[in-house]
């Protein structure tokens, strides 16, 4: 994106629109700061970037270098994020993991208890939100209802000091880029969810932020619109020259949009890396569920992994010491009777704990010698007469498992 070049500090947090105090539902800029105390301190370890070996920093004077510590009575966020200009980083994690807190800390809406935040070499810990070169896109757009799409977008350049005509010209170019030129005069209530979200993105980008924050940007959209906006967002993020940080619950959004995933659980980073690596080698149950894999931890001795606790799994990899073993539910074959002459060494006696539809398949949750998820066709489920409590034998070929050091 040619016009997303570095600028001085922008005012990207829209001030309260006129009349906002009177209208409970009027959109605002990002919510008011939390009332946590103080900032200061420093420290933290570097994170790894996509294509960069873990533990290496991007250039210290460009991009994002943040160690975010936020203490609350029953919660502590302590994450280190580094990203080079052009990186799209997705923060992924379960409810309450601290993703939004991290995003708000980056925006300056939640003060740091400790840590640091540098953007392109400039410390921002003490910079108020409205003076940070940061653009924010929220899931529910937060557009000004009384302004046209054009004036919503022009708001960013205006805050940066652009004249009215210049700001409008810039906004028009942004709307055009978003495929919204025909909706320039429309008020937000006359825009579809997908259009409103694109206006919100245009408004954020028009401020030429050095850090773009996206908080569940697709969550409020229906499935079809989501598909469309995801594809567009991907295109815009690919062109974006500064750092983008995206918060999402949706692994697909994360995998499609981000170069690097940072998985946060209980306020800490539990795994980070390229999406393909995380999908292939999950290191926590949450991530394994997210990417749809059965995941176990155990100790390997050559081709056998003894689970702790549990049976053994035969793998093709030859490893020794603590390992993870993963396999997809589609790799599991179920039998009602013990298969005779079974060549599969991975054979376990289980019981159906539950059944649910999963796309065009049935996913069976099994307990017993090994707890696992198995996918089968509706026909196979019917033929096997599966129901909760039904005893089954489950097998997985060693070639379908994947073992890697823990």
Minimum distance between the CB of residue 126 and ligand ATP, rounded to whole angstroms? 20
When the beta carbons of 35 and 189 are compared against ligand ATP, the nearer one is: 35
At 6, list the tokens: 């570095």
User: What are the φ and ψ backbone dihedral angles of 228, each rounded to 5 degrees?
Assistant: -65, -50
Could you identify the residue written with the tokens 């790894």? 48
Closer by beta carbon to ligand ATP, 249 or else 268: 249
CB of 247 to ligand ATP, least distance (A): 6
d(CA 48, CA 262): 9
Q: Nearer Cβ to ligand ATP, position 73 or 359?
A: 73
- Of 141 and 286, nearer to ligand ATP (C-beta) is 286
> Smaller CB distance to ligand ATP: residue 32 or 342?
32
The span from the CA of 216 to the CA of 56, in Å, is 28
- Binding to ligand ATP by CB under 6 A, coded x per residue (else -) over 41-80, reads -------------------------------x--x-----
One-character DSSP codes across 52-121: S-TT----TTSSEEEEEEEEETTEEEEEEEEE-TT-EEEEE-STTSSHHHHHHHHHTSS--SEEEEEETT
# residues contacting ligand ATP (CB under 6 A): 12
Among the listed residues 2, 37, 95, 340, the single contact to ligand ATP using CB under 6 A: 95
The piece of 78-86, 98-106, 171-179, 359-367 that touches ligand ATP (CB under 6 A) is: 98-106
Token pair listed for 184: 């320039």
Site for ligand ATP in 225-244 (CB under 6 A): none
CB of 13 to ligand ATP, least distance (A): 17
Q: Which residues contact 367 (CB under 8 A, 6 or more apart)?
A: 350, 351, 353
Q: Residues with Cβ < 8 Å from 115, sequence gap 6 or more?
A: 39, 41, 42, 43, 44, 66, 67, 68, 69, 78, 125
Q: Residue 101, interface with ligand ATP (CB under 6 A)?
A: yes
What is the footprint of ligand ATP within residues 8-37 (CB under 6 A)?
Answer: 34
Candidates 23, 96, 121, 123; binder of ligand ATP (CB under 6 A) is: 96
Q: How many helices (H) and strands (E) does the chain have?
A: 9, 18
Residue 167 binding ligand ATP, by CB under 6 A = no
* Interaction site with ligand ATP (CB under 6 A): 34, 72, 75, 93, 95-101, 249
């Amino acid at each position: 994106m040619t016009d997303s070049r570095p600028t001085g500090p922008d005012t990207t947090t829209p001030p309260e629109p006129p009349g906002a105090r009177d209208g409970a539902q009027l959109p605002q800029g990002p919510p008011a700061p939390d009332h946590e105390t103080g900032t200061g301190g420093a420290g933290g370890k570097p994170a790894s970037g996509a294509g960069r070996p873990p533990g290496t920093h991007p250039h210290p004077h460009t991009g994002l270098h943040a160690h975010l510590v936020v203490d609350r009575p029953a919660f502590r966020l302590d994450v280190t994020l580094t990203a080079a200009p052009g990186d799209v980083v997705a923060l992924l994690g379960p409810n309450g993991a601290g993703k939004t807190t991290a995003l708000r800390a980056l925006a300056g809406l939640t003060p740091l208890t400790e840590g640091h935040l540098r953007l392109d070499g400039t410390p921002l810990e003490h910079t108020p939100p409205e003076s940070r070169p940061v653009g924010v896109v929220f899931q529910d757009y937060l557009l000004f209802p009384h302004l046209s799409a054009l004036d919503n977008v022009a708001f960013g350049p205006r805050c940066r000091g652009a004249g009215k005509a210049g700001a409008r010209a810039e906004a028009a170019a942004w709307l055009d880029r978003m495929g919204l030129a025909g909706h320039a005069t429309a008020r937000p209530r006359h825009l579809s969810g997908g259009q409103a979200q694109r206006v919100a993105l245009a408004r954020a980008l028009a401020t030429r932020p050095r850090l773009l924050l996206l908080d569940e940007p697709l969550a409020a959209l229906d499935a079809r619109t989501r598909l469309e906006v995801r594809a567009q967002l991907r295109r815009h993020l690919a062109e974006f020259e500064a750092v983008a940080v995206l918060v999402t619950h949706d692994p697909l959004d994360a995998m499609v949009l981000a170069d690097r995933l940072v998985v946060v659980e209980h306020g800490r980073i539990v795994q980070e890396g390229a999406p393909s690596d995380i999908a292939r080698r999950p290191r926590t149950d949450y991530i394994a569920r997210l990417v749809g894999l059965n995941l176990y931890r155990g100790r390997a001795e050559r081709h056998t992994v003894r689970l702790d606790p549990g049976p053994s799994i035969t793998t093709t990899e030859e490893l020794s010491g603590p390992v993870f073993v993963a396999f997809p539910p589609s790799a599991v074959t179920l039998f009602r009777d013990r298969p005779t002459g079974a060549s599969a060494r991975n054979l376990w006696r289980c019981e159906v704990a539950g059944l649910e539809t999963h796309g065009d398949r049935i996913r069976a949750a099994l307990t017993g010698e090994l707890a696992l998820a198995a996918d089968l066709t509706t026909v196979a489920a019917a033929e096997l007469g599966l129901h909760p409590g039904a005893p089954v034998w489950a097998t997985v070929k060693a070639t379908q498992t994947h073992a890697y050091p823990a």
